[in-house]
Amino acid sequence: MELVRKLRAEYRANNYYRRMETRDFIEAFIQKSTEQPGELRHYIQDFTTISAKAVAVGNLTEQEKGWLFI
């Protein structure tokens, strides 16, 4: 049972990072940022990091990244 718990925890952690690499996650991040504005510098840093991962795995193009940023 301990092994099953560890495997589930590992899957959840990996699955979270995979979801971060999707266009849907980026769009949700943008939506949340517009509803709850914060410091622009933090938004830019977070957007850059998240979108770079999505581009790296092929879920987003550089052009789409630019469109979403604007």
pLDDT given for residue 13 in this prediction: 61
Q: What is the pTM of this model?
A: 0.73
The whole-angstrom separation of Cα 31 and Cα 58 is: 22
pLDDT given for residue 4 in this prediction: 73
Look at residue 49 and give its three-state secondary structure: helix
pLDDT tens sequence across 6-50: 767 666 666 666 677 889 899 999 999 989 988 999 999 999 999
pLDDT given for residue 7 in this prediction: 62
Task: Name every residue whose Cβ is closer than 8 Å to that of residue 28 and which is 6 or more positions away in sequence.
Answer: none
Residue 1's pLDDT band (boundaries 50, 70, 90)?
confident
Task: Name every residue whose Cβ is closer than 8 Å to that of residue 2 and which is 6 or more positions away in sequence.
Answer: none
